[in-house]
């Protein structure tokens, strides 16, 4: 029985090859009979010659959540959630399956692209295999991950001018995944917001928005998408980290752009928009402080949305001041030492309300070393400001250190232990959790003594009000 089964199987393969190519030129040099129980659904690639040149034959099985690749020597599985796609090469006989490393943590500073090389007898067989592999990956006969293109907004000068370099690498991964893109390159501040405004009312035309840049570029895009409050754009957004801070992706547990790109590909490939993570946004109002008359109502200068929150005192002095030495290695650390040793005074008053009723009101004033209002746990990839904040919940964390409670040694300890979040347990650190709204007022006598930033963007005014928005940011990431 075994012998007759083998002969029948061989005959079927020969007939299949003949039907594929109108002849027997593509007949595999060798082939493997699936063991008892099977490996899944066989993807018949006709004359696949080798896998990474390890053997003269390979069979690939399409299982529910992975590809199983079998050679004469071993069986290897690749989970589909880690596969970017299938890449054509200049060689007429070679394809590459590009995938990530399932054993490397998402927050790793490095996330290399791994490749499985598939070699064929000729270009015709290579193209047939390319189509079949894509059908197995995407479940679509046209091989495209989505019928709608992905809108990409690239900031070339983001971070250390790495935007174009990062985009070139991510663009290849999107091409592997058969994702169509519509790309826009910014040229000046405000361009990303202007381009995002053009997307309002076009939610059905795009699969999402990819932002290649830093937190400031994401800030612009979100304020463009929400510029008409009555027509909030529901397009999911994801950052590909190319900036200096990258707090958004750090709060997702991601450090490297390759890993961020993989999450975008999986989100588009699965098209399960209901399962995408969502974060509440913040509405902010920038106000001009009254000129000495306490009865004057502060004048509103600007309205917008924030995904991260507000910083002032030393955190902002370092963020803004270190731009003067951009390009110097460790510039933020060098500037922080300068500010910690000879700190300016930062007189600030703030008041707010926690969720839960009128009795949840709080207020404080003083000369603050640090004052940070956080809507997500990470302010940057190196600053874990609110370690126990879940960005999916509606509630800000207000973290502050009063100068009178923090001598020089304590200030240094806070700065050097922000990377792992352990600073939060120091006696000088105070915090208010689950805050629904807050007002922060500059009490300095000299203009420019206190600097405010929203999502890393400098704001000039005497008061900033923040509250939880009814809008949520949908993250294009799985």
Look at residue 371 and tell me whether its pLDDT is greater than 70.
yes
Ranges of beta strands (E only) in 277-382 are: 278-288, 299-306, 309-313, 347-354, 361-374, 378-380
pLDDT score, position 435: 95
Domain 281-472 adopts which CATH fold?
Tumour Suppressor Smad4 (2.60.200)
> Which residues in the chain are classed under CATH 2.30.29.30?
2-138
In 3D space, the residue among 475, 476, 473, 477 whose CA is nearest the CA of residue 283 turns out to be: 473
pLDDT tens digits, residue range 387-406? 999 988 889 999 999 988 88
Q: How confident is the model at residue 208 (pLDDT cuts 50, 70, 90)?
A: very high
pLDDT, average across residues 361-373: 92
What is the residue-wise DSSP string for 230-284?
Answer: GG-----EEEEE-SS-BHHHHTTT---HHHHHHHHHHHHHHT-GGGS-EEEEEEE
Predicted model pTM: 0.85
pLDDT tens digits, residue range 132-184? 888 887 776 566 667 789 999 999 988 778 899 999 999 999 999 989 999 99
Higher pLDDT, 452 or 273: 452
* Least confident range of 215-229, 289-303, 369-383, 426-440: 289-303
Candidate ranges 56-70, 135-149, 422-436; pick with highest mean pLDDT: 422-436
Domain 2-138 architecture: Roll (2.30)
Q: How confident is the model at residue 64 (pLDDT cuts 50, 70, 90)?
A: confident
pLDDT score, position 329: 72
pLDDT score, position 195: 96
CA 11 to chain centre: 50
Residue with tokens 């990303």: 192
In 3D space, the residue among 15, 92, 83 whose CA is nearest the CA of residue 49 turns out to be: 92
> Which residues in the chain are classed under CATH 3.40.50.10330?
150-274
pLDDT score, position 477: 92
pLDDT tens digits, residue range 71-107? 666 667 788 889 898 898 888 888 888 988 877 765 5
In 3D space, the residue among 76, 63, 67, 57 whose CA is nearest the CA of residue 13 turns out to be: 57
- Measured CA to CA, the distance from residue 410 to residue 83 in angstroms comes to 46
Helix (H) or strand (E) holding 336: helix 331-341
Q: How confident is the model at residue 334 (pLDDT cuts 50, 70, 90)?
A: confident
* Least confident range of 129-133, 362-366, 451-455: 129-133
Look at residue 379 and tell me whether its pLDDT is greater than 50.
yes
Q: How confident is the model at residue 289 (pLDDT cuts 50, 70, 90)?
A: low
Q: How confident is the model at residue 55 (pLDDT cuts 50, 70, 90)?
A: very low
Using CA of residue 315, residue 319, residue 324, residue 325, what is the dihedral sign? positive
- Measured CA to CA, the distance from residue 155 to residue 162 in angstroms comes to 9
pLDDT, average across residues 364-378: 93
pLDDT, average across residues 179-203: 94
pLDDT, average across residues 379-385: 91
Residue with tokens 């020089």: 408
pLDDT score, position 181: 95
> Which residues in the chain are classed under CATH 2.60.200.40?
281-472
pLDDT score, position 321: 74
* Least confident range of 214-223, 278-287, 311-320: 311-320
pLDDT tens digits, residue range 210-233? 999 999 999 999 999 998 765 566
Look at residue 29 and tell me whether its pLDDT is greater than 90.
no
Residues of the chain above pLDDT 70, percent: 80
pLDDT score, position 387: 94
With respect to CATH, is domain 150-274 assigned 3.40.50.10330? yes
């Amino acid at each position: 029985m075994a012998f007759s089964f083998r002969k029948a199987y061989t005959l079927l393969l020969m007939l299949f090859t003949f039907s594929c190519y109108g002849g027997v030129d593509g007949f595999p040099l060798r082939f493997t009979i699936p063991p008892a129980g099977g490996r899944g659904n066989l993807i018949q690639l006709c004359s696949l010659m080798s896998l990474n040149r390890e053997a003269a034959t390979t069979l690939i099985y399409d299982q529910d959540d992975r590809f199983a690749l079998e050679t004469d020597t071993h069986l290897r599985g690749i989970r589909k959630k880690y596969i970017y796609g299938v890449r054509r090469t200049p060689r007429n006989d070679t394809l590459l399956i590009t995938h990530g490393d399932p054993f490397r943590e998402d927050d790793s500073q490095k996330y290399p692209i791994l490749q499985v090389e598939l070699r064929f007898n000729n270009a015709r067989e290579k193209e047939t295999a390319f189509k079949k592999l894509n059908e197995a990956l995407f479940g679509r006969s046209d091989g495209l991950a989505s019928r709608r293109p992905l809108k990409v907004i690239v900031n070339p000068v983001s971070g250390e001018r790495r935007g174009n370099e990062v985009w070139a690498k991510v663009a290849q991964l999107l091409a592997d995944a058969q994702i169509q893109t519509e790309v826009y390159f910014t040229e000046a501040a405000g361009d990303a917001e202007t381009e995002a405004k053009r997307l309002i009312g076009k939610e059905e035309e795009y699969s999402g928005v990819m932002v290649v840049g830093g937190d400031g570029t994401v800030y612009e895009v979100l304020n463009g998408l929400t510029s008409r409050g009555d027509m909030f754009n529901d397009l999911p957004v994801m950052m590909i980290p190319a900036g200096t801070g990258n707090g958004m992706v750090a709060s997702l547990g991601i450090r490297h752009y390759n890993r961020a790109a993989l999450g975008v590909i999986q989100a588009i490939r699965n098209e399960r928009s209901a399962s995408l993570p969502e974060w509440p946004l913040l509405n902010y109002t920038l106000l001009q402080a009254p000129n000495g008359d306490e009865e004057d109502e502060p004048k509103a200068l600007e309205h917008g949305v924030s995904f991260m929150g507000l910083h002032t005192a030393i955190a902002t002095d370092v963020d803004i001041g270190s731009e003067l030495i951009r390009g110097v290695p460790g510039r933020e650390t060098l500037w922080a030492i300068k500010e910690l040793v000879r700190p300016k005074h930062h007189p600030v008053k703030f008041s707010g309300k926690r969720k839960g009723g009128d009795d949840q009101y709080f207020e404080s004033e003083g000369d603050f070393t640090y004052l940070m209002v956080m809507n997500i746990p990470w302010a940057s990839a190196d600053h874990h400001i609110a370690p126990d904040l879940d960005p999916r919940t509606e509630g800000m964390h207000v973290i502050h250190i009063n100068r009178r409670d923090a001598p020089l040694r304590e200030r240094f300890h806070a700065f050097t232990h922000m990377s792992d979040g352990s600073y939060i347990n120091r006696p000088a650190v105070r915090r208010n959790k689950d805050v629904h709204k807050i007002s922060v007022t500059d009490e300095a006598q000299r203009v420019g003594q206190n600097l405010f930033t929203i999502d890393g963007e400098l704001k000039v005014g005497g008061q900033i009000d923040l509250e939880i928005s009814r809008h949520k940011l949908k993250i294009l990431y799985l």
